[in-house]
Amino acid sequence: MTKKNINITTEELKKLNEQLSSLTAKELLAWFVARYPGKTIFSSSMGLEDQVITDLLASLSNPVPVFTLDTGRMFPETYDLIDITRQRYNIVIEVWFPDGGQVRRMVGEHGINLFYSSQENRKLCCHIRKTEPLRQALSGYSVWITGLRREQSAARQDLELVSFDPEFNILKVNPLLNWSTAEVWEYIRLNRVPYNTLHDQGYPSIGCQPCTRAVMEGEDIRAGRWWWEESGKKECGLHDPLKAKQKSS
C-alpha cells in the first residue's frame, strides 16, 4: 500500500493556490523545492513543456530529481533527446521501465499492438507501461512537478496550479499551467533549450510511437494522440481530470 506522504485540506489547498498564483514558473519551482527539500520530483516525458521545466530547474541552486517513463514503445527521437538533455544540463535522468512479467502476460493475452483493438486494451497497456511505473517513481515523494498546461485540451481547462492527487498521494504542481504554446516556444528559442525534432515535423504532443501521429494545420494539439479514440476521453491514467478534482480533506 502506498504510504501517505502529505496531508492537506481543501481549504489549505485553495489558500495555497491563491498565495502562489502571482509567482512565475521559476519562483513557483523554487518555492516548492525550498518547502519540500528532497521530497520534490519532476516527471519528464521529454515534451516541449518538460524541456522548459528542466531548463528552469537547472537554474535553481538545489537539484530536483528528474525521471522519465520508458514504456518500451517510444520514438527513437525521444531516446536521442534523453541523452542530449542529460549531457546539456549535466543531470541524471532516471529511466523507469514497466514490469517485464506484466508486459509479457499482457502481450501474450492481447497481442503486441493491443491498444488498437479496444479502449479497454489501450488503457490496460497505459496502466502497465505508464501508470504503474509512475506510481513507483513517485513513491516516497511529497511533490510531483509536471508539464501540464490548461491550453493542451478541454479536459485540462480546470486544472489548478497545485492539487492533491489521491491516486498517488502527492501534491501535484503544474508550473506552466497558464502558459500558451507561443510562450513555451518563445522560452525554448530564447534559451536554446534542446527539443524533440518531431515537433518540427507536425507533432505538437508526443507520447508512444504507435499511439502518436502528426497533426494537420488547425488541428487540436492532442489530436494526434490515440487519434482513433473519441476526443475528450484521451487521458492515459497518469492524469485523470476527475481524480484531480477530488481533494484530500
Active site residues: 236
Non-local CB neighbours of 46 within 8 Å, separated by 6+ positions: 68, 78, 81, 82, 85, 196, 206
Q: How far is 147 from 143, CA to CA, in rounded Å?
A: 13
| Range 22-81, binding ligand ADX (CB under 6 A) | 43-45, 47, 49-50, 68-69
- Number of Cβ within a 10 Å radius of residue 99: 14
- Residues 160, 17: contact at Cβ < 8 Å? yes
Interacting partner of 45 out of ligand ADX, ligand SF4, none (Cβ under 5 to 8 A depending on kind): ligand ADX
Interacting partner of 43 out of ligand SF4, ligand ADX, none (Cβ under 5 to 8 A depending on kind): ligand ADX
| Range 32-71, binding ligand SF4 (CB under 6 A) | 71
Interacting partner of 44 out of ligand SF4, ligand ADX, none (Cβ under 5 to 8 A depending on kind): ligand ADX
Closest Cα partner for 208 from 104, 130, 109? Answer: 130
- Residues 168, 135: contact at Cβ < 8 Å? yes
Establish if 204 lies at the interface with ligand ADX (CB under 6 A). Answer: no
Establish if 236 lies at the interface with ligand SF4 (CB under 6 A). Answer: yes
Establish if 211 lies at the interface with ligand SF4 (CB under 6 A). Answer: yes
Rank residues 210 and 241 by Cβ distance to ligand SF4 and give the closer one: 210
Q: What string marks each residue from 145 to 184 as x (binds ligand ADX by CB under 6 A) or -?
A: -xxx---x--------------------------------
- Residues 77, 202: contact at Cβ < 8 Å? no
Cα-Cα-Cα-Cα dihedral of 56, 211, 199, 179, to 10°? -40
Q: How far is 51 from 147, CA to CA, in rounded Å?
A: 9
Task: Give the residue carrying C-alpha cell 506510481.
Answer: 135
Q: What string marks each residue from 115 to 154 as x (binds ligand SF4 by CB under 6 A) or -?
A: x------x--xx--xx------------------------
Interacting partner of 224 out of ligand SF4, ligand ADX, none (Cβ under 5 to 8 A depending on kind): none
Amino acid at 201: Q
User: Which residues of the shown chain bind ligand SF4 in the complex (CB under 6 A)?
Assistant: 71, 73, 115, 122, 125-126, 129-130, 207-208, 210-211, 236
